Structure 1
């Protein structure tokens, strides 16, 4: 299921959301311009590698940036076109309402903290892993968690690309609840030290978003609207 719209208009321009979205696209285009060897090198230089993070947290001469800094840089890298497009669709559909509920400055901090929580969740599940983690999905998972707390009864338009392509509207609580349940189940089944989807990061980011929204939403913004 692929979310493409909701029926939940925002009241202020989602400037930060668009900055994050455009930033991810520009970084990916830079990755793509490097060719295949350079693309992979960028992933290893700026992606988050759990073993490097825990063993050399204050830097290493062979690394372009300090391992601690890769917690942020990894959020703007992606592993391929489908990875990028999928993440940007989720960001586009859900983040504007969360930014609206917090304001621009608070949303920046919220987004980065969710990304941090997601990255640390995955890294702690496999601290000796040398596989780099990249993608905005951990931070975006936090946005989804916040959306569930604020707008569970909004309606989400999903594209369903199965035998035939069709569209369906479902309540946010159903779509996001099913999404989180799948991520949580897969995080318990899939080995955390192997290449693939970072399900643990998704689950960790989602829970972080559910909690952090309580502290970052503007006064007067109600839960479960």
Structure 2
């Protein structure tokens, strides 16, 4: 993209960031994309079952088979089918009610406008890609860890990264509010004050989590480093999930 196109993209970002006026109708207060609702309900159902109905031994079995365990790949254990599935299934497990609640709030905020833009199938692929990027980053840092990794945070961080490439512009006038405009060049995005503030706060929150969160005594540990892997996937990889019919200008 040359300088003239880069300038047009920056002007588009500024214009699309301005508040949209209502067309007379009222926007639904809670209007989630169906795929986001479905994924959220799945996460809630799984943790509810785990917290309320499973005993300790059953919870351990759940973690050993469906959480991501780096030791599974580097330790003296035989690889099984869970070595293939756990890099994705871990994203549907959570470590506490608080962990689940925070993730569901961010999923609603960032997932719905992204799903409305790219469609259900692409969004599901994006969820999986974010989960894989998160565990890959985590595994690179802790290849021999025996602590289970759980949570949708990696996939949701990917959604945040994708949102930054639109400078968080959402068309609120649409029946299905979605991120609007082109996927902006990184050079334009990094000149957006809104994006820079968000990135600063997001990084600070992750650092605080890393410094002050301890290893859980009776449950899985939440790894903040995995969020970075997911975010990078969304930030740099969102173009790969864009529908072909969306005009780029």
CA 1:129–1:86 in 2, change beyond 3 Å: closer, same or farther? same
Q: CA RMSD in A?
A: 3.3
**Over residues 123-156 of structure 1, what are the superposed CA-to-partner deviations in whole Å (9 max), with x where a residue is unaligned?**
11010100010011011100110111124356xx
Q: Distance in 1 between matches of 2:197 and 2:247?
A: 22
Aligned mates of 2:126, 2:146 — CA distance in 1: 28
1:180 aligns with 2:202: yes
TM-score normalized with structure 1 length: 0.74
- Check 1:92–1:76 CA distance in 2 against 1; reply closer, same or farther (3 A cut): same
Of residues 44-53 and 124-133 in structure 1, the stretch that sits farther from structure 2 once superposed is 44-53
Listed as ranges, the gaps of 5+ residues in structure 2 are 1-18, 21-26, 171-192
CA distance in 2, matches of 1:150, 1:57: 44
Deviation of 1:40 after TM superposition, in Å, equals: 3.6
Partner of 1:34: 54
- Count of aligned pairs between the two proteins: 196
Q: Distance in 1 between matches of 2:86 and 2:94?
A: 13
Residues 70 and 142 in structure 2, CA contact (< 8 A), matched pair in contact too? yes
**Inter-partner Cα distance in structure 1 for 2:227 and 2:68:** 15
Secondary structure of the structure 2 residue equivalent to 1:150? coil
Q: TM-score, normalised by structure 2?
A: 0.67
Distance in structure 1 (CA, Å) of the matches to 2:109 and 2:123: 15
Structure 1: runs of 5 or more not aligned: 1-6, 155-170
* Structure ID, larger Rg: 2
- Give 1:181 deviation, angstroms: 2.1
1:19 maps to which residue?
Answer: 38
Q: Does 1:132 align with 2:151?
A: no
Q: For 1:85 and 1:205, how far apart are their aligned partners in 2?
A: 19
Corresponding residue for residue 98 of structure 2: 82
**Is contact 2:151-2:222 (8 Å) kept?**
no
Report matched runs for 1:50-199 at 5 Å: 50-55=70-75, 59-60=79-80, 65-152=81-168, 173=195, 176-182=198-204, 185=207, 196-199=221-224
Separation in 2, partners of 1:56, 1:97: 44
